[in-house]
Structure 1
Amino acid sequence: MVDVGILGATGMVGQRFISLLDKHPDFNLTSLCASSRSAGKRYEDATTWYLDEPMPESVKDIIVTDSDPNEVSSDTEIFFSSLPSEFAAKKEKAFAKNHVVASNASALRMEKDIPLIIPEVNPDFLAMIEEQQKNNNWDGFIVTNPNCSTIALTLTLKPIQDNFNIKKVHVSTMQAISGAGYDGVPSMAIIDNLVPYIGGEEEKMESETLYLLGSQENGNVTPCNFNVSASCHRVPVVDGHTEAVFIEFEDDFEISEVSDKMSSFKGLPQELNLHSAPENPVIVTEMEDRPQPRMDRNANNGMSVTVGRMRKDAVFENSLKYVLVGHNTIRGAAGASILNAELINNKIL
């Protein structure tokens, strides 16, 4: 068992980390870190619990510590970070001197020597870790996972990219309010409404997707050679991002072949039988009114992306349309970091 901790343990994503790590066969949760106002308190006393499932008994009596590497046990090998971006860069680098940091924060995602990873998509990018350690004189290192909407999209694009020639991708998202955190979207702003702007989200989707589907050599990443255009919107759904995807191919294609490639897609986590890896990262449904967030966000414990309404575009030549749903705080956040850590534990530690 590897001792692990959480940075930002009292927030919504931090709570999701706790829920997913409870009774994990490889990881023993020993350290919970938060702000100085929570430090010194029992976790149960320091936290307003937001998730539907109850707080695990195993964490209630853990004493919260400040997010300072000098305040935590040196035996804790991996820290999962759900820190706000304004604190993440400095804090994560401080922890990486002696610990592994699996970060869900956006602050360091596109740093040159810090790999941005989806284990089924680009596990070879972990080769960048050695250069990162050398550049910073660290014994530990940082690995990041992408934006929640990027992860869902990229998982569906990977089997297409591997088997077809993509010319361009357009995506329009309908994103759940949990993606903004508990206090992120005021109720008066979202009830009976749709907010057609999420700051920085479109830029993240466009740049991160190209990075993830690109290639790396000697620590240098070459983005993939097609364009991605995103439009992102907040909708009154609690959990589960929905995305409408439009892909133009270089050549004609058969829907059945695209569907088969998505359904049969597996990656290194499936080969290694990692604990959090879903049997099928992408599930394709033929039901005409699916996927729906309430019905499909928890597929394979929230770690699979469900695709439906797959059809050829009747207007634009060689074009495909489909809708996807992915759980934004599981596969798109805490679950993504945990799967990264499982891969690291299997291949590096």
Structure 2
Amino acid sequence: MPARVGVLGATGAVGQRLIQLLDPHPEFEIAAVTASESSAGKTYRHAAKWRVDSPIPEDVAEMTVIATDPDDVPEDIDLLFSSLPSSVGAEVEPAFCKAGYVVSSNSSNARMADDVPLVVPEVNADHLDLLEVQRDERGWDGALVKNPNCSTITFVPTLAALQEFDLEKVHVATLQAVSGAGYDGVSSMEIIDNAIPHIGSEEDKLETESRKLLGEFDGAELSHDELSVSASCNRIPTIDGHLENVWVETKDDISTAEAAEAMESYPSLELRSSPDQLVHVFDAPDRPQPRLDRTLGDGMAIAAGGLQETPFGLQYNCLAHNTIRGAAGASVLNGELLLKNGYM
């Protein structure tokens, strides 16, 4: 019998992508959709300005949107997926966890909290056990797990594959799609025929979240990796797919062939949404490209290419679909891990 799930912030861009991914999912059944007070009481069809590239699921379209409040969400919900704005999530998500709900969240609030697991299942599934510490410290019956920023998810799996060569320094420059800012996030006059060399707080997210993801959990405490990471973030006029240029310095010598083999052989997981091959490496120097490669593995795989040795170490490019792998799909994958590990 599928787990009953709800989507917090279901009318937004990531919330709609969550609906698209969850509706056909055999392990989950959408039982509640929430939004702001102005949308509560309307059917989902009328509350959401549906903009996803597939028809709105008919069964969800006729559901009544409820307020994002623990008192309004059915008690028999097994798992909540959150795509709330971080300012709202900071207040609302702990209230749901205190009320006994398990929350898989894409929102940026609390990602760096010491007792909140920040998880990419193929990279650090063991960090999920930090939930035991979280429940003890906070007295929650519920739990809160986070997936990282969409730009962080793009390059961290490639770094995890290269950890065997003793990573020391990483420099990353991102070329981020406009969908990462939300439907109303960047105006057409700003981005057409242009590139914007700054995205507020993005650099810090890449630099800190990556070290937490690559850190070690000893059963009681999580220590962050000592890797030095610097980032520069840019918005470009592609719709979906974050492309990133990465320079890696390692303690041990590494050739492009060794790096490619390490990435391609990096294991995936036997979760429904995890791709058969996590990282695809292209030989062609002009790949990956957003329009051509963002849907690899149904949008859940990472693409890499352009590997070359430089005076600054190994250089390569990587790409991920930012609203699937980088957002909604990442939350769904964490939900599958929660289900598999018995946290629901």
Which residue, 330, 340, 346 being the options, matches 2:334? 340
Deviation at 1:134, TM superposition (A): 1.9
Question: What is the TM-score when the length of structure 2 is the normalising length?
Answer: 0.97
Q: Deviations over 1:144-197 (max 9, x none)?
A: 000000011101110101x21112000000000100100111111111111111
- Look up the match of 1:144: 146
Q: Does 1:330 align with 2:324?
A: yes
Contact 1:302-1:326 within 8 A present in 2 as well: yes
1:233-275 CA-to-partner distances (Å, cap 9, x unmatched) read 10001000000000012232221111111001114xx2xx211
Structure 2, unaligned runs of 5 or more = none
1:61-111, CA deviations, whole angstroms, 9 ceiling, x for partnerless residues? 000000001101111111100000110011101111211100000011111
Aligned AA for 2:296? A
Aligned residue type for 2:282: T
Stretch of structure 1 that moved more, 74-83 or 126-135: 126-135
Which of 283, 294, 297 lines up with 2:280 in the alignment? 283
Partner residue of 1:160 out of 147, 159, 162:
162
Match in the other structure for 2:238? 237
Which structure 2 residues correspond to residues 230-309 of structure 1 after superposition, within 5 A?
230-267=231-268, 270=269, 273-309=270-306
Deviation, 1:307, is 0.1
Alignment map for 1:126-141 (pairs within 5 Å): 126-141=128-143
- Residues 113 and 219, structure 1, Cα contact 8 Å, conserved in 2: no
Tell me if 1:40 matches 2:41: yes
Runs of 5+ in structure 1 lacking a partner? none
Q: Is the 8 A contact 1:127 1:219 kept in 2?
A: no
What's the secondary structure of 2:314's corresponding residue? strand
Amino acid at match of 1:164: F
Instruction: Look up the SS of the partner of 2:34 in the other structure.
Output: strand
Secondary structure in 1 aligned to 2:122? coil
% identical aligned pairs: 48
**3-state SS of paired residue (1:120):** helix
Inter-partner Cα distance in structure 2 for 1:44 and 1:194: 35
How far, CA to CA, are the matches of 1:121 and 1:204 in structure 2? 17
Moved over 4 A (4+): none
**1:311 corresponds to:** 308
Structure 2 Cα separation of the partners of residues 168 and 44 of structure 1: 48
Q: How does 1:104-119 map to 2 (within 5 A)?
A: 104-119=106-121
Distance 1:122 1:52 in 2: 31
Check 1:219–1:176 CA distance in 2 against 1; reply closer, same or farther (3 A cut): farther
Change (3 A) 1:159 1:46: same
Q: CA RMSD in A?
A: 1.0
Q: Tell whether the 8 Å contact from 2:165 to 2:253 is kept in structure 1 after alignment.
A: no
> 1:220, CA displacement in angstroms?
2.2
SS at structure 1 position matched to 2:247:
strand
Q: Say whether the 8 Å CA contact 1:176–1:238 is kept in structure 2.
A: yes
Alignment of 1:33-112 (within 5 A): 33-97=34-98, 98-112=100-114
